[in-house]
Structure 1
Amino acid sequence: MAKTQSSFFTSISRLYPHVRPIMPQLLMGLICALLASLVALTIPQVLRVLINETLHAGGATTAVWISAGVVLVLGVAEAGLVSLRRYFVIKPATTVETRMRVSLYDHLQDLTVSFHDRWGSGQLLSRAMSDLNFLRRWMAFGAIMLVVTSLTVIIGIAVMFAMSWQLALIFLAAAIPIMINAFRFRTRFSKVARLSQDQAGDLATTVEESVHGIRVLKAFGRGREALENFNEQAEELRQTEILKAKHLATFTMVVTLLPELALGTGLVTGVLLVADGSLSIGALVAFFATAAVIATPVEFCGMLLAMALTAKTAVDRHFEVMDSVNTITSPENPVRPAELRGALSFNNATFAYEDAPDKPILKDINLEVKPGETMALVGITGSGKSALLQLVPRLYEVTEGSVTIDGVDLREYDVGHLRKVVAVAFEDTTLFSSSVRDNVLLGAPEPTDEALDEALDVAQAQFAYALPDGVETLIGEEGLSLSGGQRQRIALARAIAAKPRVLVLDDPLSALDVNTEELVEARLREVLADTTTLIVAHRPSTVALADRVALLEDGRITAVGTHSELLAGNPHYRYVIASLETEPRDLDSELSDLDDEAEDAIR
């Protein structure tokens, strides 16, 4: 994950396309905030007039009441303008936040699997939630107040010079070390802010992994070790946050202390100027009232500057993802054949992961799978079977050579169309926190009850009807409320419901018993008789049910034939078959069989 280094204005300017639609509302909010500050600067001038013109022997009392009324009106106006600022900016800022979040999610859906292999889910989550939430608050408050604060200080100093240039110079002299310190603060704080946000993303990844793997942690009794690892990461983030607070506290101390020192020095100087007649009492009071008005923005600038630097980091982190390019795209003029037979062919296909281009996983793969044929793919662990399957729906792209369907390179098809033609079921099933119905019909061209019933029947997943709410039962996050065999059957039903021309199965029946597997295979042959199937097999029974078998050895196809032919003539094939795992026991099916036997005995 490359970390973008750019200037503040370069980074913030990238928000403009998103902010442009709401720019009128932001400008209205800025104007309201600026008017509120100008109203606050006006109040000291009312006091100056009151003191110089009215507060003396024989002065009219009505002038005091008038002045008090003016101050009250100005105070109410200031409060009203502050409320209007919030009214103008809150809704538009939340709209921008939502649009950016949806855009980020859409881009994440579009990016390649290799991108998601490199990025931790917590990092992406923190960018989608925490960073964009902070940007919304900065757009609605921090950016506007930074501009208003700067203008308030400039206008206030100009007013102070108009009243007494001697006193104004004292306050201006205090601004020089503040500016120097602000430059140092910006450099230090920006680095720590970026580190903090990255560490928060890593911490989110750890939490997510622990929650998803809670059964493993509990089963192996590793909860204490997981806690210690989390505690170390949390402590690192705490130390970084403390360092952030120290930098901010130091800067805040400077911007608070120096104006106060200038105030004390100015008070002594002002009294001397009044004593020799160079300055009126009213002007002195108005000067220090104005100084009090701009003192708050000056003290506030530390927090506003910290917000701006954190916003800059959030923008950089957001566009690190948005700038990632999707390398698996559709051509300008995709091929859209009227009918597909499903002939699958690998032609000198070579594949290597992006982070190891000189170490190909697959080398010069040549394999023909006929329309309607079931081809089993076998090989020892690490031979590249799963990688080969993922080339078919273009989850990964071939490095060299090509993969074709009906003689057309996959890169000539529209990606969306291709992934409707090709359905996939993986050994490591992924289900969503939704109903059984929604999971099964996820890719179905016609999400009807008939399609649902047929898919569940073929996958031998009729257990779904016996769940508490039937097929409307929410199966929980990643389907962990179901057993391994049940999850695999739901995932297989999802692939079947898609009505594909090419079906890619990465050992999706590994958790099933032999009887259930045979029933699934028999129904697959019946319902998907015209569907080309490429299946990774880790069990002899799966291999025996295939029309032909391809042997993958060290990333190369070394033999293709029927199970009997390879068994008789290929020593490595015999070795692979002998090393395939023995048939696993599906406890769910066994318990179901025992229940059936018990019911029969009762009858």
Structure 2
Amino acid sequence: MGLYNKYFKRYKLPFLIAVTCVVFEAFCDLLGPTLMSNIINTGIEQGSLSKVYYWGALMLIVTGIGACFAVTRNILASKVSQRMGADLRYDLFKKIMSFSEVSADKLESGSLITRMTNDTAQIVQFNGIMRIFLKAPITCVGSIVLASILNFRLSIIIYSVVAVVGVLIVISMKLSYPRFYKLQKAMDKVNSVVQEYLIGVRLVKAFGTYDKETDKFEEANLNLMKMGVSSQMIITFISPLMTLIVGIGTVVVILTGSKLFLSRLASPGDISAFTIYMAQILTSLIMITNIFNTFVRTKASTSRIKEVIDAEEDFNHDGKAVQLKGAVEFKNVTFAYPNGSGVPAIKDLSFSMREGESLAIIGPTGSGKSTIAWLLLRFYDIDSGEILINDNNIKELDITSVRNAIAIVPQKPMLFSGSVAENISWGNNKSKEDMIKEAAAKAQASFIDKMPEGYHSTLGSSAVNISGGQKQRISIARGILKQAPVLILDDATSALDAVTEAKVRDNLNSKETNQTIITITQRCGTAMFADKILVMDNGRKVGYGTHDELMESCEIYQDIYKTQIESSREA
């Protein structure tokens, strides 16, 4: 309910007006059978045409007023539900943007897409039929009350019918909720499978695993179908059963009413009004059942959206906001990934860098190289130790200050649909064209000038229309353009040839910028040109120093050098 209360406050006035309209609309509907009874009892039965005209005109006026209220509440309900949907999607996207890495790891992207689209649409749909939710109980209760006033003996039948239907509604809700929750989870799986295929479509083509991917989708799709059938099965049985019970109640009313009429305990108008009230009660009960079934599904969607709303956010912005420079220090840092194996990815790591220095981090796969970058950016909080930038503990700093001081070029370049210039300026949205071109020149991205529209050439989704090396150079240009005190290159030149990489490295290592550069690499030929080299193995520091120092003191570094450099020379 907390989720609805939040949006109720935003649209309190139109919601209250809509509720008022629903109440008066229901009141007008409830007057219909009573007016019909008066037409029969005082007009037709007594042969008074003036009474027929009088009560008939009054009935038309009440119906017209009810129609006006219905139109008004429909317009208001539609506007409120659509506005709520737009606000909910915006709030969800804003929340996802502020996710901590733990939350991002926990909630799959396919699931998040389902929650932002299908689950949100379910809530909007439910909010749109809230007018029926309010009208149906009013009409049902009002029909019972007015029917009781008309003839208490006949109303006992109505009480029995409503009691049985109420039990069926409770049973329906209890059985439906777990099924609808599983249905949404099955939809998550379908979205995830499709998303994985679209991301890895080239790999699927390269390995020819179409059948495997088709089977995986078919399994997820069939599971979704089974969950859909299972969730609808309860409604399939309950709804006809309710209609049957109310139908039986109507027949009993007519039979009993006939006997009461013969005993002069009921008039024809009363019996006619009772039949209409029974029809209204049937319609209201079916509406209530459908609403409760929708509510059950919406409850499942609401709980899933609430998981996103309540997810752990990125680190707060309450720390000190300072202008940082490039001095970096790790002090006895230990870290294990949340919800992981529990084995530390980084163990008691200590090293320091002065502003303007370059550091290469090298080591076997899985040694914790990239983890150092994630910790420095404070994507995760360390378990013990300290990470300092300019002698400031990053836990005490405003997270924006920390990330503004660091530019990262990731191992897998992430480019967005749009122009080349837009992708480069993503690192600094205040940059001018000459600054973009200068950053591209430092990244050796001269190929941009040869593209059909130069820097205004459009890149497709994930930049599928350029090569891996071109993606990396655009990504490097973006990192350069940010002009941050610390630049992290996470295996960012793996797709570049040795000559191009050397030119990029020379441009980056220029002492004019006094920029601290951290290069994460598996190439000894890249690491050896840095001021210092940090050698990692199994999360631990096993070597730290210059290339010459490590060639004398670090066995793992010597093995890497011999494998990569000496063996290539011999070849």
Render the CA deviation track for 1:213-246: whole Å, top value 9, x for unaligned: 1111111111221111111111111111111111
Render the CA deviation track for 1:504-557: whole Å, top value 9, x for unaligned: 111100001111111111211237641101111222321232122111122111
Letter in 2 for 1:424: I
The correspondence for 2:516, drawn from 520, 529, 532, is: 532
Residue 72 of structure 1 and its aligned partner are, at CA, apart by: 3.3
Whether 1:296 and 2:296 are equivalent positions in the alignment is no
The correspondence for 2:89, drawn from 101, 117, 138, is: 101
Letter in 1 for 2:117: M
Whether 1:460 and 2:444 are equivalent positions in the alignment is yes
Matches within 5 A, 1:103-502: 103-141=91-129, 143-326=130-313, 328-330=315-317, 332-337=318-323, 340-356=324-340, 358-444=342-428, 446-502=430-486
Preserved CA contact (<8 Å) 1:539 1:581: no
> 2: CA distance between counterparts of 1:219 and 1:554?
32
Q: Which residue of 1 aligns with 2:36?
A: 47
> 2: CA distance between counterparts of 1:190 and 1:110?
30
> 2: CA distance between counterparts of 1:157 and 1:480?
66
**Shift in CA distance, 113/286, structure 1 to aligned 2, threshold 3 Å:** same
Letter in 2 for 1:239: K
Q: Which residue of 2 aligns with 1:74?
A: 62
Residue 62 of structure 1 and its aligned partner are, at CA, apart by: 4.3
**Shift in CA distance, 154/493, structure 1 to aligned 2, threshold 3 Å:** same
How many percent identity over aligned positions? Answer: 24
Q: Which residue of 2 aligns with 1:591?
A: none
| Greater Cα shift, 421-430 or 443-452 | 443-452
> 2: CA distance between counterparts of 1:297 and 1:42?
16
Preserved CA contact (<8 Å) 2:102 2:312: no
Letter in 2 for 1:272: K
Residue 577 of structure 1 and its aligned partner are, at CA, apart by: 2.9
**Shift in CA distance, 335/580, structure 1 to aligned 2, threshold 3 Å:** farther
Letter in 2 for 1:366: S
Residue 582 of structure 1 and its aligned partner are, at CA, apart by: 11
Preserved CA contact (<8 Å) 2:42 2:48: no
> 2: CA distance between counterparts of 1:246 and 1:98?
32
Residue 583 of structure 1 and its aligned partner are, at CA, apart by: 12
Preserved CA contact (<8 Å) 1:420 1:443: no
Residue 579 of structure 1 and its aligned partner are, at CA, apart by: 4.4
> 2: CA distance between counterparts of 1:179 and 1:286?
23
Q: Which structure 2 residue ranges, 5 or more long, are not aligned? A: none
Letter in 1 for 2:3: R
> 2: CA distance between counterparts of 1:230 and 1:301?
37
Q: Which structure 1 residue ranges, 5 or more long, are not aligned? A: 1-11, 585-603
Render the CA deviation track for 1:433-489: whole Å, top value 9, x for unaligned: 222222111131632112211111111112223323322223121222221111111
Preserved CA contact (<8 Å) 2:362 2:523: no
Residue 495 of structure 1 and its aligned partner are, at CA, apart by: 0.6
Partner SS for 1:438: helix
Residue 169 of structure 1 and its aligned partner are, at CA, apart by: 0.6
> 2: CA distance between counterparts of 1:249 and 1:581?
72
> 2: CA distance between counterparts of 1:333 and 1:369?
23
> 2: CA distance between counterparts of 1:32 and 1:528?
71
Residue 570 of structure 1 and its aligned partner are, at CA, apart by: 2.4
Preserved CA contact (<8 Å) 1:120 1:202: no
**Shift in CA distance, 341/293, structure 1 to aligned 2, threshold 3 Å:** closer
Structure 1 runs (4+) deviating above 6 angstroms are 581-584
When the two chains are superposed, the root-mean-square deviation of aligned CA atoms in Å is 2.0
> 1: CA distance between counterparts of 2:232 and 2:313?
39
**Shift in CA distance, 256/582, structure 1 to aligned 2, threshold 3 Å:** farther
Partner SS for 2:175: helix
**Shift in CA distance, 193/581, structure 1 to aligned 2, threshold 3 Å:** farther
**Shift in CA distance, 180/518, structure 1 to aligned 2, threshold 3 Å:** same
Render the CA deviation track for 1:30-86: whole Å, top value 9, x for unaligned: 2222322222221212211111112147x3434434444434333333332221111
TM-score by length of 2: 0.95
Whether 1:17 and 2:6 are equivalent positions in the alignment is yes
| Greater Cα shift, 395-404 or 30-39 | 30-39
Partner SS for 1:526: coil
> 2: CA distance between counterparts of 1:463 and 1:84?
61
TM-score by length of 1: 0.90
Q: Which residue of 1 aligns with 2:490?
A: 506
Residue 569 of structure 1 and its aligned partner are, at CA, apart by: 3.5
> 1: CA distance between counterparts of 2:48 and 2:263?
28
Residue 115 of structure 1 and its aligned partner are, at CA, apart by: 1.8
| Greater Cα shift, 87-96 or 218-227 | 87-96
Whether 1:32 and 2:16 are equivalent positions in the alignment is no
| Greater Cα shift, 15-24 or 372-381 | 15-24
> 2: CA distance between counterparts of 1:528 and 1:98?
49
Residue 92 of structure 1 and its aligned partner are, at CA, apart by: 2.3
Letter in 2 for 1:520: V
Q: Which residue of 2 aligns with 1:563?
A: 547
Letter in 1 for 2:202: R
> 2: CA distance between counterparts of 1:363 and 1:136?
49
Residue 96 of structure 1 and its aligned partner are, at CA, apart by: 2.1
Preserved CA contact (<8 Å) 2:369 2:536: yes
> 1: CA distance between counterparts of 2:2 and 2:232?
27
> 2: CA distance between counterparts of 1:581 and 1:188?
67
> 2: CA distance between counterparts of 1:411 and 1:274?
84
Residue 568 of structure 1 and its aligned partner are, at CA, apart by: 3.5
